[in-house]
Amino acid sequence: MRLLGIETSCDDTAAAVVVDGRHVESSVLASQDDFHRKYGGVVPEIASRRHAEVIGTVVEQALEKAGRTFEDFDGVAVTVGPGLAGSLVVGVAAAQAIAFARDLPAYAVNHLHGHLFANYLENSDTPEQAPPDGPFVCLIVSGGHTDLIHVESPAQHRILGRTLDDAAGEAYDKVARLLGLGFPGGPPLDDLAKSGNPRAVEFPRSLIADGSYNFSFSGLKTAVRYHLDAHPDDAVSRAADIAASFQAAVVDVLCAKTLRAADALGVGTVALAGGVSANSGLRAELRRRGEAQGLRVLVPPLAYCTDNAAMIAAAAFYRGNAARVPAAQLRADPNFAW
Ligand code: KG4
Ligand code: ZN
């Protein structure tokens, strides 16, 4: 089953061709970072205009790279939410037009399901890696979400906990701004942390032992701000130590809760998903602590951690009829619940 995936929920315009929810024939992405950087965050009006300008070309490129034409598809899958309304409607309109014109089945995909199903895509880093085969715990960490999910089967999942305030990626972006690292802040902060001492400053690990699976990162972000207010020189002379200490606090809480959930639920696998799963510290630490606990630790290839359309096609394949809708009923749903 070959699906065309389309993703425009935030500031990346993406299209992909995926066979059987696993084999990626192409995955094309037009990043808008250069357009938003000077504003220090995503400007919704700029994002939707830019999507509208490039969506046609991005879809064409995905077909071209895969060596396919519209005749070769069994359906079109698109992110309908959650996300920015003006951004979502561009992808949805494109998918709807293709579905109508080619009489193709349409699949309405939840963006967060997309992140989760990135774990089922063929991993070019380790092609032999099998997709998850039994129940697992998935930590979805992105710019807008920090959700811990019990995945009983591809069709059945339940939210164990989520952030009570800032998402992990949001905390990264805000702390990166305090350190003058630009936007998006996750990748440069991750790089800077590599040369710092993670024990230089003991930042708070909110809710780490509260027994719930919820998260809270706004106190940590505020602690970094207070620290920099009290020691203004640290933003320059000890930026790497601050970055490493902040990252250690985030990673510690994320790993502790994910591994405790796996233990309590008796599952043998944990998986990462979402933009923050590109974080080198989180990938390494979850692997180290998870494997020490006897768990299989799945981490999607880097390109499928941040927003992309291959994960949307994969989610549509695995969700099947649960995601299928008549093309006329495809609608952007900015608040689409899990
Ligand atoms: O999933 P994603 O691409 O978009 C959303 O759905 O939000 O996630 C974007 C988030 C941003 O907050 C970005 O700073 C963060 O993921 N991010 C990272 C890294 N790469 C991206 N955070 C920490 N370390 C990274 N290497
Ligand atoms: Zn995302």
Mutate to test the pocket of ligand 1, among 276, 277, 283, 299 (most ligand atoms within 8 A of CB): 276
Preceding peptide of 135 cis, ω within 30°: no
Check residue 182 and give left, alpha or beta (phi > 0: left; psi -120 to 50: alpha): left
* pLDDT tens digits along 17-38: 999 999 999 999 999 999 998 8
Report the nearest atom of ligand 1 relative to the CA of 278. Answer: 26
CB 91 less than 6 A from any atom of ligand 1? no
Mutate to test the pocket of ligand 1, among 173, 306, 311, 312 (most ligand atoms within 8 A of CB): 306
pLDDT at 127 over 70: no
pLDDT at 207 over 80: yes
Label residue 125 by pLDDT band (50, 70, 90): low
pLDDT at residue number 76: 98
pTM, 2 dp: 0.95
* pLDDT tens digits along 299-327: 998 999 999 999 999 999 999 999 999 99
Q: Which residues of 206-225 are buried (b: 16+ CB within 10 A; e: fewer)?
A: bbbeeeebbbbbebbbebbe
Cα R_g (the chain), whole angstroms: 20
Q: Which residues pair with 158 in a beta bridge?
A: 150
Q: How does DSSP assign 262-296, residue by residue? A: HHHHT-SEEEEESGGGG-HHHHHHHHHHHHHTT-E
8-state DSSP, 320: G
CB 82 less than 6 A from any atom of ligand 1? no
Distance 123 CA to ligand 1 centre (A): 20
pLDDT at residue number 133: 83
- Alpha carbons 26 and 136: distance in angstroms, whole number: 28
8-state DSSP, 163: B
Report the nearest atom of ligand 1 relative to the CA of 144. Answer: 7
* pLDDT tens digits along 236-280: 999 999 999 999 999 999 999 999 999 999 999 999 999 999 999
CB 281 less than 6 A from any atom of ligand 1? no
- Alpha carbons 241 and 193: distance in angstroms, whole number: 7
pLDDT at residue number 163: 97
Label residue 183 by pLDDT band (50, 70, 90): confident
* pLDDT tens digits along 61-70: 999 999 999 9
Report the nearest atom of ligand 1 relative to the CA of 185. Answer: 14
Mean pLDDT of the 31-56 span: 94
pLDDT at residue number 152: 96
Give me the chain's average pLDDT, please.
96
